[in-house]
Structure 1
Amino acid sequence: MPVSSLMFIVETDACDLGVGAVLMQEGHPIAFISKGLSGKHLSLSVYDKELLALAMAVTKWNQYLMGRQFVVKTDQKALKYLLDQKLHTGFQMKWVAKLMQYDSEIEYKTGRENKAADALSRMPMPEALVVVVAPVDSSLFERIRDSWSNDEGLAKLIEDLKEQLEGHKGYSYIHQQLRRHGILIVGKDVQLRRDLISKWHDTPSGGHSGMDNTYRRLVGLFYWKG
């Protein structure tokens, strides 16, 4: 869960077809967001795409960032001097005005260091996808990780992803989290799957909603076969 006393870090990145961001505290991811670009956004400059990634992130995570200091890490050097530069387009004026509402420090981070946001920006997704990690407590997450180790196919997938082997489009293993199109994967642990369904149906995390709503929440948070 987010801790109010700790500094929030927002890592952002953009590529030709998409933008992505990760919200973190002390090196641990709290939430991810990725959005494919379409229409006029495809023709934006690299600088403007990076600006869009940052604007999308702070807008989505406004509840965590507004009214407090936080750090933004980007591999676009020019963004470090965002508020000191001359603005050339209405697009830039709009989003810089939005960002001026926040108390942020922008730091440059090489693409090699910015792996999580870079991977998210390159996922082929036409619409925004947000995956919130916070509702998964540490003990439950350990069980999810154990389910990968006990699943021969997933264990092999993780090794392939670590070695950056091709043939696993849409899958990622970042910050020790195995994901399919940004969704956390659950292995072949029947009891664990039942516990996840129960947690999101019978507790405040799920709001004691009906099974249809519970299913829709789980589809957005977890992926498993069968």
Structure 2
Amino acid sequence: MGYHFTLCYKPGNKNRVADALSRIHEDAELSSMLSYPQWFDGASLLQGYDSDTLIQKYIQDITVEPISHPGFTIVNGKLYHKNRLVIPSTSSWVPKLLEEFHTSPNGGHSGFYRTYRRLGAHIYWFGMVKTVKNICSSL
């Protein structure tokens, strides 16, 4: 490349423009940050749960025959699909979740697949694939 240079070590107190990584002590380590959703209003997330006929049918079926619906389980009286909480498809949270996971700056209008994967990692509702596809194609 035609460049000629020499590397010179400068101790931290003499190197006034050192970056943060060069100032880390040798015994220090970098740790990754973890993020996960926290449901502050969990009661409203499950609003309409007892009146949703499909969820109640699945709960009854699984109570009688646990393998009647593969991938579905009941934990503390709530229905889960592959360890994701099942919410009513008519929940007032569905549009809010779609807004957060697709339309917001965090969602970034990243298309159906990425939106579905991020949202589907935490929660599930019947007809979720169709709902997410419709939202992603309309915006």
- When normalised by structure 1's length, the TM-score is 0.34
Match of 2:101 among 173, 197, 200: 200
Please state whether the residue corresponding to 2:49 is helix, strand or coil. Answer: helix
Give yes or no for the alignment of 1:144 onto 2:22: no
- Which residue of structure 2 aligns with residue 175 of structure 1? 76
Pair 176,63 (structure 1): closer, same or farther in 2 beyond 3 Å: farther
5 Å-filtered alignment, 1:14-163, equals 134-139=36-41, 141-161=42-62, 163=63
- Structure (1 or 2) with the greater helix fraction: 1
- Which residue of structure 2 aligns with residue 188 of structure 1? 89
Pair 180,137 (structure 1): closer, same or farther in 2 beyond 3 Å: same
Greater RCO between the two (CA within 8 Å, min separation 6)? 1
Measured against aligned partners, the alpha-carbon deviations of 1:115-158 in whole angstroms (never above 9, x if no partner) come to xxxxxxxxxxxxxxxxx9x514131x323322321211212322
- Structure (1 or 2) with the greater strand fraction: 1
Please state whether the residue corresponding to 1:147 is helix, strand or coil. Answer: coil
Q: After TM superposition, which residue ranges in structure 1, 4 or more long, deviate above 4 angstroms?
A: none
Structure 2 distance, partners of 1:223, 1:208, is 18
Letter of the 1:168 counterpart: H
Q: Which runs of 5+ in 2 are unaligned?
A: 1-31, 128-139
Measured against aligned partners, the alpha-carbon deviations of 1:40-97 in whole angstroms (never above 9, x if no partner) come to xxxxxxxxxxxxxxxxxxxxxx978xxxxxxxxxxxxxxxxxxxxxxxxxxxxxxxxx
Number of aligned residue pairs: give it: 93
Structure 2 distance, partners of 1:178, 1:136, is 19
Task: Report the identity percentage.
Answer: 20
Please state whether the residue corresponding to 1:225 is helix, strand or coil. Answer: coil
Contact 1:202-1:208 at 8 Å conserved across structures = yes
Letter of the 2:49 counterpart: W
Q: Which runs of 5+ in 1 are unaligned?
A: 1-61, 65-131
Match of 1:165 among 58, 61, 65: 65
Alpha-carbon RMSD across the aligned residues, in angstroms, is 3.0
Q: Which has the larger radius of gyration?
A: 2
Structure 1 distance, partners of 2:79, 2:108, is 27
Structure 1 distance, partners of 2:38, 2:59, is 21
